[in-house]
Amino acid sequence: MQLYIPKSKWRKKVMFKIYDAPCSRYRGSTTGASRAGNVDAPGSASCGRIIATARAPRWAMQNMPIRRVMGDMLNLPTGNVLIINGAQNGYQGWGRSRSTKTTIPRMYHSTANLLSDGRILVAGSNTYIFYTYRGAYPTELRVEAFSPPYLAAGLDTERPVIREFPKGIKYQQVFVITFTVRRRVGAVAVNMLNAPFVTHSYAQGQRMVKLTTAAPVRRGTNWSVQVTAVPGNTIVPPAWYMVFVVQNGVPSKVLQHCTFHILT
């Protein structure tokens, strides 16, 4: 599912696109731009998706609505992939890119990361060797929080609120999450994500795992769902993870007290 993004304040504030993909990448700068020192070379609009574990994996290609270089890619609680930040021309390096449609440019040395409430923390951008606060694309110290469309107030009636949960789980453990929701509609999933280390267009250690989830059962005014943890540390290492209950494409917000610790 590819989300439709209406014309709104979101599009004016940041360059972004959301894709549904188990694995995604986008091309970035034009071939040979860095070798030729061409800072005006247009970025690529192509974006590819692949199922890396398929018997015969193949790239499925699409074009983004905005070409870009130096973008950041993040997994979202819904299972979609967000492409955010970057420039439209040039390539990575100090003073090697230009042209961006954002209110606050996020170019070389920018970053993005998922917050527990579903927003995206956006920060950075330094196109100079040293901190420089004048001229084109100065060093950026401001921090922003981008709200994806799934956080729209109009979806709050479908947004789950987690009520009961284990504070720690073990591999292969079967556990129960209890949640409330004002309007029960569509499928319910439980997705587990971590906050990766994002720099230079790489989200290192990033994981999004769709846990095996049974159909929700009504328990008075609440709903409960049986969930099975991941089979072992070859899937996710022991650490803290954010766990979202997602109903009909609308994720819950993870408060500090419902972040799970995977135990060995």
| pLDDT tens digits for range 30-69 | 777 777 777 878 888 888 888 888 899 999 988 888 888 8
Residue 259 within any structural domain of the chain: yes
Last-in-domain residue among 106, 122, 149:
149
**Residue 44: partners with Cβ closer than 8 Å, 6 or more residues away:** 26, 27, 28, 29, 30, 67, 68, 69
- 15 and 57: one domain? yes
pTM of the shown model: 0.82
The whole-number average pLDDT for the span 26-31 is: 64
Nearest CA-CA partner of 49 in 80, 85, 84, 4:
80
- 136 and 158: one domain? no
CATH number at residue 233: 2.60.40.10
The whole-number average pLDDT for the span 19-30 is: 54
- 14 and 139: one domain? yes
Asked whether 25 and 47 are in contact (CB, 8 A), the reply is yes
Q: Is the pLDDT confidence value at 5 over 50?
A: no
SS3 annotation, 44-97: EEEEEECCCCCCCCCCEEEEEEEEEECCEEEECCCCEEEEECCECEECCCCCCE
Residue 106 or residue 159, greater confidence: 159
Of the ranges 25-39, 123-137, 183-197, the best mean pLDDT one: 183-197
Residue 114 within any structural domain of the chain: yes
Residue 106 within any structural domain of the chain: yes
Q: What is the pLDDT of residue 15?
A: 46
- 17 and 79: one domain? yes
Range of the domain at 17: 9-149
Asked whether 75 and 244 are in contact (CB, 8 A), the reply is no
* Average pLDDT of the chain, as a whole number: 82
- 69 and 168: one domain? no
Q: Is the pLDDT confidence value at 26 over 80?
A: no
Q: Is the pLDDT confidence value at 11 over 50?
A: no
Last-in-domain residue among 149, 179, 200:
149
Residue whose token pair is 């981008």: 146
Residue 81 within any structural domain of the chain: yes
Stated as kind and residue range, the H or E segment containing 123 is strand 120-124
Q: Is the pLDDT confidence value at 18 over 60?
A: no
